[in-house]
Amino acid sequence: MARTKILAKSYSRPAIYMLGVHALRSFRTVRFLAVGFLLLTVAASAWGQNAVTLAFIDVNVIPMDTERVLTRHTVLVQGDRIVSIEPSDLASVPKGAQRISAQGQYLIPGLIDVHSNLLSDKYIADEYADEELAVIVANGVLTIRAPIGKPELLVYRDQIEDGELFGPSLYVGSPQLAGVGYGSGANSRMVATPFEAAAAVREFEAAGYDFINLTFGITADIYEGIILTARGRLPVIGEVGPDIGLRRALESAQQIEHLDQYLEALMDEAIPRAKGLSGVGVWVLENWAEIEKLDIQRIEAVVRATVESEIWNTPTLAFLNSSFGTGRSDEEIEGSSEYGFVSPSVREELLHDRDRFWSNPPEERFRMRYVELRNRIVSELYRAGGKLMVGSYSPEWLFLPGFSLHRELESLVSAGLPPFAALWAATRSPATFLSWGGAGRTEFARVDSEGIRFETATTVEIDFGRIAVGKRADMVLLGANPLDDIRNTTLIEGVILRGRWVQRDELDEILEHSAEVLSEAPLLPRF
């Protein structure tokens, strides 16, 4: 089908979505063309006009300050701010306000996914990013962190912030820093020495990335170069390799993805770290037998050390447990919500690794133990006060952005978290992390004209992740209470994105259109 969209005659829906980022790019390259400039101007102004007050009447509010529900309240939104939250029988609705009857429905903060990359990062062309971003919003995910960055994502981040592009608020990690033999492509940087690593950190800071992201092959000396250079510049996130180990990652206040090196921390000290099941270790069949040798008595000490370090974890349970533990059958995948949002060629590429792993899988008792231990570690971290955040690990193995966050919420509840705690991990916790600049400790570095100074995290304004007067109006309206059943986060009646109301029928249009476009997006050539 032709890759064109039309600007809606009515601006009730986000007009810039209808224009699309590929059109925006074209217009920017020929900005002198009057018609292009006019469309950009009209679309941007349509997004920015927030004169009408929104009034959500008789809604049940889950503010995410404590575990409570404010029943039958009226919430007023003006511009991109929440201006009033009052019991409906006491609330005054301004004349001319757009009234949304929400009796029996529930208002929660916009959901946040801190591990959500796009298909257009490497599988399909960048011109499809606008559809992907719109799908994420339609799933109630109003803020994402794309941990694996590239320059195009910085452009999207700024366009979204400026109101030029319809999409979730975006935080962008750097291209992955990788050891020799592991890094390739636009979104990865191979570093062979601490000096190369330090130079890359400074380069990525200058480019405007929000985090430094690590992946496979990082040696201990290179790691030290990254950590020392990044302090006071950018927080460090990502995977933890066997040369680093959990202890050093905790000491460095690195934000850890996938519970990397947690199972290895339960091993006897004499067992080589390369025998672990973090990162590339899951692909080594013989490593899986080591899981029966893990000492579960060490979990308490590992959890205590994690809590004391004040670092943040993104377990990505749904992806790792289901991919390497239980597996997803063809029937389950074909019945998934996201199946229709990828073309056959992309689908084949995404499922290649799954098929490769499951062609000769480890014994079932090893895989079930893997799931059991990962769930237990997450459960113990929660009970001990550890900092957990929701990350979907999209788009790997057909866990696509937006859809997969809800699967991660279900996995956290299955691991032992109450629904409120799971929802906290998708709202308050990541909002705090992102607002603090990823700082893991009470004190964190800021760089200004006077050099490096240290501030306490309490001085940082956290503008989202909760429903309160004065906060940014990023919210999701649900048809049922997610505190009763976390699966109710999928019952989306509408979203309020930076103060703009997008109701259910408009979300359905977005999903229908995006599915039509993305299902025909060809796979980029593989190198």
Domains identified in the chain, total number:
2
Give the whole-angstrom CA distance, residue 17 versus residue 93. Answer: 30
pLDDT of residue 51: 62
Q: Which domain holds residue 9?
A: 1-49
Same domain assignment for residues 7 and 116: no
Residue 508 belongs to some domain of the structure: no
Residue 336 belongs to some domain of the structure: yes
**Residue 205: CATH number of its domain:** 3.20.20.140
Q: Mean pLDDT for the chain?
A: 87
pLDDT in tens, 188-198: 999 999 999 99
Residue 224 belongs to some domain of the structure: yes
Same domain assignment for residues 135 and 6: no
Same domain assignment for residues 399 and 275: yes
Same domain assignment for residues 444 and 350: yes
- The residue assigned the tokens 């940014």 is 472
Same domain assignment for residues 32 and 160: no
CB atoms within 10 A of CB 99: 12
Which residues does the chain have with pLDDT short of 70? 1-51, 183-185, 437-460, 527
Q: Which of 459, 477, 512 is the last residue of a domain?
A: 459
Provide the CA 42 distance to its chain's centre, in angstroms: 30
Give the whole-angstrom CA distance, residue 149 versus residue 146. Answer: 6
Residue 68 belongs to some domain of the structure: no
| Coil, helix or strand at residue 351 | coil
Same domain assignment for residues 124 and 38: no
Residue 74 belongs to some domain of the structure: no
pLDDT of residue 273: 76
Same domain assignment for residues 307 and 406: yes
Residue 477 belongs to some domain of the structure: no
Question: Which residues lie across from 153 on neighbouring strands?
Answer: none
Same domain assignment for residues 162 and 44: no
Question: Which residues lie across from 456 on neighbouring strands?
Answer: 443
Give the whole-angstrom CA distance, residue 257 versus residue 117. Answer: 14
Q: Is the dihedral of CA 72, 76, 81, 85 positive or negative?
A: negative
Same domain assignment for residues 16 and 117: no
Same domain assignment for residues 36 and 115: no
Give the whole-angstrom CA distance, residue 182 versus residue 170. Answer: 26
CB atoms within 10 A of CB 9: 7
Residue 62 belongs to some domain of the structure: no
pLDDT of residue 440: 38
pLDDT of residue 270: 76
Residues 6+ positions from 303 with CB-CB distance below 8 Å:
377, 380, 381, 384, 386
Residue 400 belongs to some domain of the structure: yes
| Coil, helix or strand at residue 132 | helix
pLDDT of residue 453: 42
| Coil, helix or strand at residue 486 | helix
pLDDT of residue 25: 36
pLDDT in tens, 287-303: 999 999 999 999 999 99
Q: Which of 404, 439, 459 is the last residue of a domain?
A: 459
DSSP state of 472: B
The DSSP line for 311-330 is: -EEE--HHHHIIIIII---H
